[in-house]
Amino acid sequence: MQMEWLPIAADFRARLRAAQTTSSAAERIEKLASLAQHRLGFLETIQLGRVLGDSAPESASGFSKVRLAVLASSTVDQLLPAIRVAGLRRRLLIEVHAGAYGQHRQEVLDPASALHRFGPQVLLFSISAREAIAGVPVAAASGEADEGLARFVEELRLLWRKARETLKATVIQQTFLDVTDPLFGSYDRLVAAAPSRLVARLNDLVSQAAASEGVLLLDVARASQSDGIGAWFDAGRWMQAKMEIAPQAAPLYGDMVARIVAAQRGLSKRCLVLDLDNTLWGGVIGDDGLEGIVLGEGNAVGEAHLALQRYALQLKARGVILAVCSKNDAAVAEGAFRDHPEMLLKRGDFAAFVANWEDKAANLAAVAKQLNIGLDSLVFVDDNPAERARVREALPVVAVPELPEDATYYVRCIANAGYFEAVSFTADDRQRAAQYAANAEREAMLGASESMDEFLRGLGMSVAFGPVRPVDLSRVTQLINKTNQFNPTTRRYSAEEMEAIAASSESISLRFRLLDKFGDNGLISVLILRPDTAEPDVMEIDTWVMSCRVFGRELEFEAMNIAVEAARGRGVRSFRASYIPTKKNGVISDLYPRLGFTRADGPARADGAIQWRLNLSDYVGRKTHIERSAE
Amino acid sequence: MSDQEILDVLTRALRDLLMDDSIVLGMETRREDVPNWDSLVYINFIVAVEMQLGIKFKVADVESFSNVGEIVAGIKAMLR
């Protein structure tokens, strides 16, 4: 269960000491974050956690703070440092609160509990299957066994609801580890109330409940199947200290938790960038020629590379963008995708394709720019250790898995790293590949157009819009949490919070979908107006996000026209808006002046917000090339 | 391994876990003699030593070690 995708830190001890003795908290945290990018074992994780604990900075630039509570029916203290270290790996400063042992019900239900005082943004339930299955006699019939388990899950469901209602926290439920021993042997699967069968059934029921409640799962049950239960559970530690998860499993456990927290905040990777020679196929096409490369069934190495291609296609089908970054002659590289009979991936599967002899770091930057996504959204897969080292050094925010020597295990390495951890699977994800393909056609059309005006007119755009409905919540939440560029305030909302905002009659929440002659771009913008507490008749632009896919199409103007009309209808006289600069949102630094807002800075704010105001009576909507359309 | 070599392994493990190089373990040292050597650190210490030496302590022993010397003796018995 080593985190093999992370590179080994050659001089861990020295670097950790150096961090420990760094007096500036900001520098220390940077050094620790950089160390956390390495393969840390059991001991190293504890050590890093200890130095991090000493730092405990209130805030650090470029890091986000998250309050996470773990409510458990077993001891979890051995897991907490690893959660914080894995958070640091993703530039999250996770403050962890562990509920009192076995007190998860009381902590949730009692508004005066330590949990409520802590005010978690994320709440993780780590519950042992023991109490659920203890009362079920092995002779119980299937229905009887199910009833007891269903009651247990129903109680959990009520706790989740209560927690979301009172704490407004994102709820994560840990799946149940099967720590039971065989009773009948292989026949266990055929006995309704055999212990292992009960745990499996419990996991089924809790997954169904989580799906219907919008609760996320931390699937340690699955992880323990692949690592072996012995890697996750040590009966001795249970006897001694009621630890259901062994201390040795802490680094991976922490990483799995942090993946979900990061995914929920839009920090999962979005694009898989692949090298070609000895990565997507065996051999070097420039030397070996089309006939010489190794790919396809009937040859173990050829099948290994094919497996990676197949996995890339699966990722594409779930919304991950594919790209190529290879040192090759472009015509030769593209020809391989066109002409090799065993090639599963086709040229059209890649949203960006860079094959030349330039530096790979520079090429990756070009890929990110072309796709209009952040460099920190990229995973770069290359068999060549020198290229990997070069990219890690030049672009530390790009994830570069330490591929195993044997191509057979490429897929497992990439998959286990959890780069593309998801917290939803939306219609937009399903259509993303088609949308990127359509974008390529739009680019081509832009290139052929005489002017921007001609291009925009030729697109035949229309916008479908309306209030955020319950059916839109998962995509709207995803967009709000993922969008970093067109996001003036970078406020993040959980699905629970978004639901409350959408349901509020005092707020205006608008969703926008952009269509054009190449297709439907999907739900690509959300604008939330909330009443100003100080001034009646004034609304504040609390949140406005827009997908980078539709930049430069005048949608911001049409969206503002629509928002102004909606607000005027309610007798609103003016809008207030803030632009809070971040590393990522510079692209819209002049958004509000372009829309006709004027500076309205009050007292300086800690977040550095630049404040704007728009009198709706003065607002003259800009005529755009976007029609309004019914849905 | 000699007593001293085992003692060195134990000292190093505890120093690493607590990130404190001033720790010195002797055969007579008890847990309460070392600041911050609480029950969680003790379990992590046992795990760290087990991983490093490729051994597995009996639960009964882990519960009954009253000082470092007994841990050394326990390890010696296992390595023999």
Query: What integer is the mean pLDDT of A196-219?
Result: 96
Taking only the tens place, the pLDDT of each residue in B24-51 is: 999 999 999 999 999 999 999 999 999 9
Whether A155 has a pLDDT exceeding 90, the answer reads yes
Whether A57 has a pLDDT exceeding 70, the answer reads no
- Quick one: how far is CA A271 from the chain centroid? 12
Confidence grade of residue A533 (pLDDT, cut at 50, 70, 90): confident
> B40 contacts in A (CB within 8 Å)?
77-78, 241
To the nearest whole number, what is the mean pLDDT of chain A? 93
Residue B16 distance to chain A (closest CA, Å) = 7
Whether A604 has a pLDDT exceeding 90, the answer reads no
Contact A460, A517 (CB under 8 A): yes
Give the model's pLDDT for residue A303: 96
> From residue A443, how far is each of A363, A428, A552, A557 by CA, in Å?
19, 20, 12, 21
Whether A288 has a pLDDT exceeding 80, the answer reads yes
> A16 contacts in B (CB within 8 Å)?
19
Q: Which residue has the tokens 């070097």?
A: A284
Residue B64 distance to chain A (closest CA, Å) = 12
- Token pair in block for residue A131: 């109490």
Quick one: angle between helices A360-371 and A385-394, nearest 10?
A: 60
Indicate the pTM of the whole model: 0.89
Residue A235 distance to chain B (closest CA, Å) = 9
- The 3-class SS string of A212-278 reads HHCCEEECHHHHHHHHCHHHHCCHHHHHHHCECCCHHHHHHHHHHHHHHHHHHCCCCCCEEEECCEC
Residue of A nearest to B48 (CA): A43
Q: Which of B16, B39, B50 to mutate to test the interface with A (most CBs of A within 10 A)?
A: B16
Task: For chain B, list residues whose CB is within 8 angstroms of any CB belonging to chain A.
Answer: 13, 16-19, 39-40, 43-44, 47-48, 51, 57, 59, 62-63
Please count the other Cβ atoms lying within 10 Å of the Cβ belonging to residue A104: 23
Give the model's pLDDT for residue A370: 87
Whether A630 has a pLDDT exceeding 80, the answer reads no
Q: Name the A residues in 31-70 with CB < 8 Å from any B CB.
A: 42-43, 46-47, 50-51
Q: Which of B23, B45, B47 to mutate to test the interface with A (most CBs of A within 10 A)?
A: B47
Tell me how far apart the alpha carbons of residues A137 and A139 are, in angstroms, rounded to a whole number. Answer: 5
Taking only the tens place, the pLDDT of each residue in A88-114 is: 999 999 999 999 888 999 999 999 999
Whether A417 has a pLDDT exceeding 80, the answer reads yes
Query: What integer is the mean pLDDT of A8-24?
Result: 93
A20, A47, A241: residue with CB nearest B43: A241
CA angle at A76 for the pair A71 and A81, rounded to the nearest 5° = 110
- Quick one: how far is CA A510 from the chain centroid? 23
Tell me how far apart the alpha carbons of residues A60 and A348 are, in angstroms, rounded to a whole number. Answer: 42
Give the three-class secondary structure for A2. coil
Contact A136, A152 (CB under 8 A): no
Taking only the tens place, the pLDDT of each residue in A116-145 is: 999 999 999 999 999 899 989 999 998 999
**Do B62 and A43 count as a contact with CB atoms less than 8 A apart?**
no
Query: What integer is the mean pLDDT of A175-200?
Result: 96
Instruction: List the one residue out of B73, B65, B17 whose CA is nearest residue A240.
Output: B65
Q: Which residue has the higher pLDDT, A278 or A445?
A: A278
Q: Is A587 exposed, middle or buried (0-12, 13-18, 19+ CB in 10 A)?
A: middle
Taking only the tens place, the pLDDT of each residue in A294-313 is: 999 889 999 999 999 999 99
Tell me how far apart the alpha carbons of residues A216 and A209 are, in angstroms, rounded to a whole number. Answer: 10
**Do A239 and B48 count as a contact with CB atoms less than 8 A apart?**
no
Give the model's pLDDT for residue A55: 61
Residue B78 distance to chain A (closest CA, Å) = 17
Whether A324 has a pLDDT exceeding 90, the answer reads yes
Q: Which of B15, B18, B37, B44 to mutate to test the interface with A (most CBs of A within 10 A)?
A: B44
Sign for the CA dihedral angle at A466, A471, A472, A473 comes to positive
Tell me how far apart the alpha carbons of residues A445 and A459 are, in angstroms, rounded to a whole number. Answer: 9
Whether A322 has a pLDDT exceeding 90, the answer reads yes
The interface pTM score, or ipTM, of the predicted complex is: 0.95
Helix (H) or strand (E) holding A203: helix A195-213
Q: Which residues pair with A599 in a beta bridge?
A: A612
Taking only the tens place, the pLDDT of each residue in B65-79 is: 999 999 999 999 998
Confidence grade of residue A558 (pLDDT, cut at 50, 70, 90): very high
Taking only the tens place, the pLDDT of each residue in A450-509 is: 888 999 999 999 999 999 998 899 899 989 988 989 999 999 888 888 989 999 999 999
Q: Which of A275-279, A376-380, A579-583 has the lowest mean pLDDT?
A: A579-583
DSSP class of residue A7 equals P
Residue of B nearest to A17 (CA): B19
Contact A467, A502 (CB under 8 A): yes
Strand-strand pairing, A610-615 and A574-579: antiparallel
Q: Which of A13, A35, A43 to mutate to test the interface with B (most CBs of B within 10 A)?
A: A43
Give the model's pLDDT for residue A59: 62
Please count the other Cβ atoms lying within 10 Å of the Cβ belonging to residue A2: 13
Whether A56 has a pLDDT exceeding 60, the answer reads no
Give the three-class secondary structure for A446. helix
> A51 contacts in B (CB within 8 Å)?
19
Give the model's pLDDT for residue A80: 96
Query: What integer is the mean pLDDT of A530-557?
Result: 92
- Token pair in block for residue A492: 């993040």
Q: Name the A residues in 220-259 with CB < 8 Å from any B CB.
A: 236-237, 239-241, 243, 246-248
